[in-house]
Structure 1
């Protein structure tokens, strides 16, 4: 008689360093491990057998057919750190598949319907053959942003904390809180941009308006932010009024490509480049150069890969459950694209370890407010967030992904007021 746990353990090169359990009572893997992965239903087994690697594991986990014991669903980091890098299933060959079908039943090799949290709109099915050629149209970008950012403002308040900032913080010291670190991040960006009272700032992909409100409040600039998320824009507009910043700050629900104003003293792009698409870098950074006044400054803050090889496309789990159509590439490609747009790169900094700490803070918030988060967005979505934040944290910890600041100026005829040495400090 085939024992399910043993079959699954055999699909992973060298087996998994955790305890595996299945609904047929079988066990395999490291039975001394404090963490257990339990397949609780035939549907969960079918997910694992019919979808490769991370995608099958994610589907089973999000649907509740794969349960993790020994760690909280809001932060599976301890368990995930053991198996990360060892989730690629060795797909059985035709002969072995026939044998497994006979032993387990053909039904386990029929792909179940994906969980509702998976991002696969009808038009994507119809145009699957053209999907990569149609990436990053305005309609498709709006749909992708809606999938991730219009979950629930209340959910984001619970996970992100009072700052409502969904980008990497900068921790001034080991004892700094998440809120202190987010404020330190905004202040660092303001100093890098050399913001001064009365100047005009454009913040692309402004989220809930954190940068816009901070720059207006603390530096006295006139700040305009744009976001494709209607929910973010609504929340930010309300916060601007509540903080009496109407004279200085504005957030629009708008695609950045439709910003008509020009002559900005500074432009910030904090966490937007990941959604732009590599093929659109020339147009994006060209847009930035066109909107800056001569001698203006630009700060690009984005997640990057640790190298500049590959297509930049995300894995199946991230693409279908977290950031549809998201693309990452190394910082060298970012720098090249910025320079090719005619901007002069002045400073380049990697702060990846700060993002690992940021994600740990968000995971703690999710665990602390788990019941309310589940009530707000549903158990499946809460599981997606716990899994994605834990996995991302591991990526930053292991230098698989990074976070880079690239600071540039619109230098005309070699003339620039940028100092001979950086003046913004640490």
Structure 2
């Protein structure tokens, strides 16, 4: 018996540590019991903060810096608050309407200020690439997209599908680089689609070139007259609950020799993770898939190459968003959030501070971004 198999055999009987999928029933139930305690403590601290408890940022940061490395390194099972996080759900995505309400249909004025809204880089709610020396957010987002172009091997004349196209930043940037590329974007958020429709009428935007088609709706209902040379999806798969069904659908849109590029938050722990806080206030039914999750699904699409991007990149991106959010309080405080603004601000500051520290934890080696290049299986 090798040392690894011996260790795994021992871990079957130990709660809290290692891969929860291999636990004996007793160890599994003990682990889930401990998770419920962690969930209760997490929400108690978060609710106290968002309901007015004065906590200096450095204390909040210190709390995250103390606990997150311990969880990532030794007790990753405690970071899966619900059983459904550990496996695929029955549906491709869960809680889509709640997600739109809490996250993507917020006042555009606030999102523009936080995420940035330039002539070429529209609001982009995903990781920027800082490790190549970018000096500001716009440059870091451009370098991230240049990196995607290279990895996906985009060629002029490609027909590209963007699954979850956000505010159209990715299509706009790539269309600016390739005069014969055509793009189709799928988006479930009506507010984001309205933003893009405005850009499609703006002569200064590449979305108005006639080479961009917008589909407002769910991936499950989408059908197209053509197949695509390239499909990309940046950030959306954190909201996809069933990789098998999603890959089956995307494969049906892909040319025989086409390629799919997926960029998601990913964790290099034995289990997928989430949190009760983000589930309630930020990303309903969202999860961070384990780094091996995408390659393990190879029925309709198979992974031929993958990359792990250190969490430093997303930590720095969140830190910039936090700074932007704080610097524009005079403007964003009077917008409509469906709740008292002081509470909304605390909800979002807790989330932003947490994720700055979360992605920086353990030198960014446990929690970062995964990128996957796939072709027909």
Pair in the same fold by TM > 0.5: yes
- Are 2:154 and 2:230, in contact at CA under 8 Å, matched by a contact in 1? yes
Q: Please tell me whether residue 402 in structure 1 is matched to residue 362 in structure 2.
A: no
- Are 1:157 and 1:164, in contact at CA under 8 Å, matched by a contact in 2? yes
Q: Please tell me whether residue 314 in structure 1 is matched to residue 274 in structure 2.
A: yes
Q: CA deviation at 1:175?
A: 4.8
Q: CA deviation at 1:391?
A: 0.5
**1:82 aligned partner:** 62
- Are 2:238 and 2:286, in contact at CA under 8 Å, matched by a contact in 1? yes
Q: Please tell me whether residue 284 in structure 1 is matched to residue 243 in structure 2.
A: no
> What do the CA deviations read for 1:289-318 (whole angstroms, capped 9, x no partner)?
221101111111000122132xx3521111
1: CA distance, partners of 2:66 / 2:94: 36
- Are 1:301 and 1:406, in contact at CA under 8 Å, matched by a contact in 2? yes
Question: Secondary structure at 1:225's aligned position in 2?
Answer: strand
1: CA distance, partners of 2:214 / 2:353: 31
**2:101 aligned partner:** 146
Q: Please tell me whether residue 60 in structure 1 is matched to residue 48 in structure 2.
A: yes
Q: TM-score with structure 2 length normalisation? A: 0.75
Question: Secondary structure at 1:245's aligned position in 2?
Answer: helix
1:194 maps to which of 153, 158, 171: 153
1: CA distance, partners of 2:359 / 2:93: 30
Q: TM-score with structure 1 length normalisation? A: 0.67
Q: Please tell me whether residue 214 in structure 1 is matched to residue 170 in structure 2.
A: no
Change in Cα spacing, 1:351 to 1:203, as seen in structure 2 (3 Å) is farther
**1:356 aligned partner:** 315
- Are 1:267 and 1:299, in contact at CA under 8 Å, matched by a contact in 2? yes
**1:255 aligned partner:** 218
Q: Which has the higher helix share?
A: 2
1:298 maps to which of 235, 260, 279: 260
> What do the CA deviations read for 1:55-81 (whole angstroms, capped 9, x no partner)?
1122122222x1124xxxxxx3x3322
2: CA distance, partners of 1:306 / 1:410: 25
- Are 1:344 and 1:409, in contact at CA under 8 Å, matched by a contact in 2? yes
Larger RCO: Structure 1 or Structure 2 (Cα < 8 Å, ≥ 6 residues apart)?
Answer: 2
Change in Cα spacing, 1:264 to 1:158, as seen in structure 2 (3 Å) is same
**1:223 aligned partner:** 183
| Count of aligned residue pairs for this structure pair | 311
Q: Please tell me whether residue 156 in structure 1 is matched to residue 117 in structure 2.
A: no
Unaligned runs of 5+ in 1: 1-48, 70-75, 89-129, 412-426
- Are 2:93 and 2:239, in contact at CA under 8 Å, matched by a contact in 1? no
Question: Secondary structure at 2:95's aligned position in 1?
Answer: helix
2: CA distance, partners of 1:189 / 1:387: 30
2: CA distance, partners of 1:134 / 1:402: 23
Q: CA deviation at 1:375?
A: 2.0
